[in-house]
Structure 1
Amino acid sequence: MSQTYPPGPPLPAFVQTALYLRKRSLFLGVLRRRYGDVFAVRVPPFNDHVVVLSRPEHIREVFAGDPRTMHAGEANNILGPVMGEHSVLLTDEAEHARARKLLMPAFNGAALRGYRELVAELAATEVARWQPNSTVVTLDRMNALTLEVILRVVFGVTDPGARAELAPLLRRIVEVGALHYTGLRLPALRRFRPWRDFHANLRAVDTLLYREIAARRAAPDLAERVDVLSRLLQVGAAGEEPPLTDAELRDQLITLLLAGHETTAAALSWALYELSAHPAVQRAAYEAARDEDDKALEAVLKEAMRLHPVIPGAVRRLTTDTTVAGWTLPAGTTVSCSIILAHRSPDNYADASEFRPARFLDGEVEPNTWLPFGGGVRRCLGAGFSLMEGAVVLREILLRYALEAADGRPDGGRVRNITTVPRGKARMVVTAR
């Protein structure tokens, strides 16, 4: 039998952690060229032993694996200081299954159709503020828009005063550098800035969220409300599962904020940048917007997410000794299906470095090669919402403006909290159509 761990770099663990957090695309690419399709890294304090995979057959093994022996919640411990112990991303087995069952009705097809009109209204309001022949800082505007979507569609906060109070606090949660985020797991640092300020801000968010949850529970029109929080307050009340507690609701709302705000804003920013840099693709996307072809607009977003992965990998923590990708790995090992490596592999994609949305319409994309939302029983519940939102936003922008890149091509991306956003914020010049 092969050795306990696959080969990996001999660098000190703290150096590997810094490289993984700050330069992960470059770092992982170098390691694959040096060690092959399966290799090991060390990234304490999150995961001491990480085995990185990128081949579709290996990824299929993980996504089809037994959730009792492959814990995604444990592996996602990096998210714990913010999302909380009840988050659907941080629980496993029966607790995860219960949370997922209660959350799913808020993201089914009928629910998505109900959210679409409000998302379009919010996108149209945002785009109406733009001035023709001006430079738009795309990442900033997409962050503002997706936060407004979270506040209105997910949290259901309709009072302008409450939104004005909550929005800056929520922004501070996501606007955190990678190394700053790393320190959130170390209690000793809570006495010092910037970690002290972060936790104080998080407590202020919690106070407002619990206030909103209490007010919503008492709302006489709760049954008529269609926002995600109102839906979650009603699930489980008449079924075999107990309803979500206030603490569980808080954790799921913060999870939806982090999973659906920064990630979607970054994906949209990359999509708009690529459209501004590729006039022919932009023309086709404009025609799709004019024809209300959501599938083609989704393809633009999917290709941007492929070429510029926002999240590095989908992870599982092994609870028993398990054979994965031909290696027998000990309990406690974290297995990472690398989104970065899978998306950029020439074995998975012809012309992998090219921005070509049509590949998602032509049947070229094989299973287990496109992974932004993970897979298996842990596939992101908000995948449909994210793609719907992205298509709606692209349509509202493209119908009003032609796009041109304001700067040269961004030098890759930079890591903010756990996501990769465009360096330079993907600035573009907008011209009225």
Structure 2
Amino acid sequence: MMPTVLPPGPRTPRPVQQLQWIADPFGYLDRAAARFGHCFSTKIAAGGNVPFVMCSDPSAIQEIFALGPDRSLSGRINAFLSDFFGDNSILLLDGAPHKRARKLLMPPFHGERMRAYGNLICQIARDVYSQLNAGDRVIARQLMQTITLRVIIRAVFGLSDERAETELLQWLDINRSPAGAAIVFLRFLRQDLGAWSPWGQFVRRRERTRSMLQVEIDARRQHGDFSGDDILTMLLQARDEEGMPLDDVEIVDELLTLLVAGHETTATALAWACYWVHRDPSVRTQLLDELKALGPDPDPSAIARAPYLSAVCNEALRIYPVVPIAVPRILTQAATIGDREYPNGSILVPCIYLAHRNPDLYPDPERFCPERFLDRQYGPGEFLPFGGGSRRCIGYALALTEMKLVLAMLMLHVNFELAEPEPVLPSRRGVTLAPATGVRMTVLSPTSDRAVAAVTS
């Protein structure tokens, strides 16, 4: 007879566990796993009294990912994000509405569109890197945020003016600030006490951002301009199986979701990749040799297929995942996961961080070792930086391609030196975990583009 009670977990009061989760999520998970193993209950939920059951066993994770919409819900657990993205965000939807939204959003992230984005990503990265000079001190995460924001603005929104970049950046800054991290998880802080209060600033900035996007939508509808190859254009033209389009509120909600999910996470992953590549000279040398062997002006698709580059990016996503957990599943009927039967209403959470630190899968898990991903292929319950199942990140292919191309352009066009005397550790930035210092680097030589320009001028 299988046990039907939830597994044991930390017994400290809920507010204490929530504060530990906000302040030091990796430490909280490490301590709980060391005591309770691959499966344990936690009290970190922003609302409600049902514990989260953290699972890091690969087979259990696969079983959770296999739960269909008839057996579990996920959008409901993200209801606390409606203030950030809107009620129509794909993150908040379940059942038929989620299936419809996912089907409408999928086409821009696959096929021919990905190849077009590749050229755009490389051009944006080269443009940003060309502004660097020898001796410049840069913060890798800020540099990558500049690139990924411009990719979002061009590829997703189809905008190119500096005003849009400034507006969106200000909204993102509020989301990823320490106050932003607190208001995500602690709802009682969501009090509008005026324009200078944290929540008051957020609300006013959010409305300005939504208004800016609505003005762009109105202009395109008014002029019938659907000639662009950006994601906004495709969403304006998208039709579901009944021939119905997305309305303007739905489009704005999805755009804000793509902005935060596609900008912050990719920039953070790139900052970690920069850190690890420049921390280990042998990794840097091997990666640079592979990229140079592709020729003086390699095609983006050839870069994206480079094996060692792919392994480096995967290892960066493994060792410090940008988000520590995948989307939770709320059971709508009893289910057997592993050796335990969970009752209806249980909340099961695949733990990305702990799965990626499993020493049986990743020997010496705290060591950065890209060769892991050359020696074997990991299953969906073993390597899951983008989640899995029907809730897998819809833009994962674009994010991974962007990560590879931006890192490759960096290696080929800039000679950097790591300016971090001590190991860099993760710290919370809103809902993501990022390098605490941002990764400080020094430019040793100008980009190759600048060097060529100087010689020929």
Aligned length: 430
Distance 2:76 2:389 in 1: 16
Residue 272 (str. 1) matches residue 282 (str. 2): no
Aligned partner (choices 187, 193, 213) of residue 209 of structure 1 = 213
Summarize the alignment of residues 198-347 of structure 1 with structure 2, pairs less than 5 Å apart. Answer: 198-222=202-226, 224-236=227-239, 239-290=241-292, 291=294, 292=298, 293-295=303-305, 296-314=308-326, 315-347=328-360
- Give me the whole-angstrom Cα distance separating, in 1, the residues matched to 2:54 and 2:369: 27
Name the residue aligned to 1:160.
162
1:119 to 118, 121, 124: 121
Aligned match of 1:54: 56
The Cα shift of 1:182 comes to: 2.1
2:36 aligned residue: 35
CA shift at 1:37, angstroms? 1.0
CA positional deviation for 1:411: 4.5
Mapped partners of 2:342, 2:255: distance in 1: 35
Deviations 1:368-421 (A, max 9, x none): 111111111211110110011111101111012233220134442111110001
The aligned residue for residue 17 of structure 1 is 18
Deviation at 1:188, TM superposition (A): 5.8
Deviations 1:8-47 (A, max 9, x none): 1110000001111221111111111101111000114246
RMSD: 1.9
Q: 3-state SS of the aligned residue for 1:133?
A: coil
CA distance in 2, matches of 1:121, 1:253: 23
Whether the 8 Å CA contact 1:87–1:251 is kept in 2: the answer is yes
Q: CA deviation at 1:217?
A: 2.3
**Which position in structure 2 is the counterpart of 1:349?**
362
Q: Is the deviation greater in 349-358 or in 103-112?
A: 349-358
1:180 aligns with 183
Partner in structure 2 of residue 131 of structure 1:
133
1:244 and 1:409 mapped to 2: Cα distance? 50
- Counterparts of 1:149 and 1:411, CA distance in 2: 27
TM-score (norm 1): 0.94
Query: Which residue of structure 1 lines up, in the alignment, with residue 455 of structure 2?
Result: none
Q: 1:358 aligns with which of 371, 395, 403?
A: 371
Distance 1:421 1:257 in 2: 17
Structure 1 residue 83 displacement after superposition: 1.4
Q: Is the 8 A contact 1:273 1:426 kept in 2?
A: yes
Partners in 2 of 1:427 and 1:148 — Cα distance? 21
2:90 pairs with 1:94: no
CA distance in 2, matches of 1:161, 1:364: 44
Deviations 1:204-259 (A, max 9, x none): 1111111111112234441x21011011111117x534111111101110110111
Q: Which residue does 1:394 correspond to in 2?
A: 407
Note if contact 2:8-2:36 (Cα within 8 Å) is conserved in structure 1.
yes
Moved more, 145-154 or 192-201: 192-201
State the AA in 2 paired with 1:393.
V
Q: Distance in 2 between matches of 1:361 and 1:219?
A: 51
CA–CA distance in 1 between the matches of 2:190 and 2:177? Answer: 22
Structure 2 counterparts to residues 365-404 of structure 1, below 5 A: 365-404=378-417
Matched to 1:424, the amino acid is: T
Where in structure 1 do 4 or more consecutive aligned residues deviate above 4 Å?
none
1:406 and 2:394 equivalent? no
Q: Which residue of 1 aligns with 2:107?
A: 105
Q: Which residue of 1 aligns with 2:453?
A: none
Q: Is the 8 A contact 1:236 1:242 kept in 2?
A: yes
Distance in 1 (CA, whole Å) between partners of 2:48 and 2:212 is 33
Deviation at 1:321, TM superposition (A): 3.0
Distance 1:162 1:402, change over 3 A: closer
Q: Contact between 2:10 and 2:32, CA under 8 Å: does it hold in 1?
A: yes
Give the structure 1 partner of residue 27 of structure 2. 26
| 8 Å contact from structure 2 (residues 7, 40) kept in 1 | yes
For the residues of structure 2 that align with 1:57 and 1:215, how far apart are their CA atoms?
Answer: 50
Distance in 1 between the 2:218 and 2:132 partners? 37
Whole-angstrom CA distance in 2 between matches of 1:232 and 1:109: 16
Could you say if the C-alpha distance between residues 101 and 348 of structure 1 is closer, same or farther in structure 2, counting changes exceeding 3 Å?
same
The equivalent residue for 1:6 is 7
**What's the CA shift for 1:324?**
2.4
Instruction: State how far apart, in whole Å, the 1-side matches of 2:90 and 2:230 are.
Output: 19
* Unpaired runs of at least 5, structure 2: 449-457
1:81 correspondence with 2:83: yes
CA distance in 1, matches of 2:176, 2:395: 18
Provide the rounded CA distance (Å) in 1 between the counterparts of 2:121 and 2:189.
39
More deviation, 93-102/212-221? 212-221
- Write the distance in 2 (CA, Å) between the matches of 1:219 and 1:352: 55
**174-183 or 153-162, which moves further after superposition?**
174-183
Distance 1:14 1:263 in 2: 27
Task: Give the Å deviation of 1:69.
Answer: 2.0
**Contact 1:316 1:336 survives alignment (8 Å):** yes
Are the equivalent residues in 2 in contact too, given 1:54–1:338 (CA < 8 A)? yes
Fraction of identical pairs, as percent: 37
Verify the 8 A CA contact 1:298 1:390 in the aligned structure 2: no
Alpha-carbon contact 1:307-1:343 (below 8 Å) kept: yes
1:309-368 Cα deviation digits (max 9, x unpaired): 110111212223333233333333221100010011101212322212232233243441
Deviates more, 1:282-291 or 1:49-58: 282-291
Superposed displacement of residue 78, structure 1: 4.1
* Shift in Å, 1:3: 5.0
Provide the C-alpha distance between the structure 2 equivalents of 1:16 and 1:229, rounded to a whole number of angstroms: 40
Which amino acid counterpart does residue 381 of structure 1 have in structure 2? I
